[in-house]
Amino acid sequence: MTTRKYEDACGIARSLDVIGERWALLVVRELVFGPKRFTDLRAGLHGISQNVLSQRLRDLEAGGVVRRTVLGPPASVQAYELTPRGHALEPVLVAMSRWGALTPVAPGSEMSNDAFALALKALHAPTAPGGFHGRVRLKLVRDAFDVMIDGEVIEVTRAFGADPELVLEASESALRGVIFHRRTFDEAVTAGEVRIAGDRRRAAAFLERFALPQLADDGPAA
């Protein structure tokens, strides 16, 4: 397959020459928090075919964004990871996640665990009420992430080590429902959709630290 080129000297066009094909940036999204096997990548990319994923990985390898690695021990399994050039795209993905959060979500749409973890970075609102700070472990359906909030700084990493004092266990859709006020935190807990290990008030304060972005009003058009 021949990748189409814009033949434009603009840096945006040259970026799109590398990451502009359909699914390419979503493959990068799935690798932000660490390497994955082919089957795990496909599981996080709803609707992608095996052939298309293989082609996107080849394109991204050729562009210096992705490289092959080996996971192990005990088993030596081939996987894919981001190169330093690929990791440099994380702020771009966070900005796109923040911008896209204002677009209505189609009913029944799902979000991968890695996409949700990036969305937390995009939707962190340091001025939100609650004043939460500290570390939370989010145990999602197929993965777990640690979220550390200290003032205006948020860090999200794949979970590692012993559980911290506060752990929330839920699907990403249940947590999104609380963050976007489709239902209250108490309703989600009572329904068993969110389970807590630790202080319940701190758990509620943690979820209050996320909100949809507010765009500046430029006023009426001239």
pLDDT band at 104 (very low <50, low <70, confident <90, very high): confident
Are the C-beta atoms of residues 156 and 171 closer than 8 Å to each other? no
For residues 44, 46, 50, 54, the Cα torsion angle rounded to the nearest 10 degrees is -60
Average pLDDT value for residue range 178-183: 88
Share of the chain above pLDDT 90, in %: 77
Calculate helix-pair angle for 90-100, 113-123, nearest 10 degrees.
80
- How far is the C-alpha of 209 from the C-alpha of 131, rounded, in Å? 8
CA 73 to chain centre: 27
pTM over 0.85: yes
Mean pLDDT value across the chain = 91
Are the C-beta atoms of residues 216 and 160 closer than 8 Å to each other? no
pLDDT band at 135 (very low <50, low <70, confident <90, very high): very high
CB under 8 A, 24+ apart: contacts of 46-54 = 46/110, 46/112, 48/23, 52/22, 52/23, 53/23, 53/27
Closest CA to 210 of 96, 117, 111: 117
pLDDT band at 220 (very low <50, low <70, confident <90, very high): very low
At residue 121, does pLDDT exceed 60?
Answer: yes
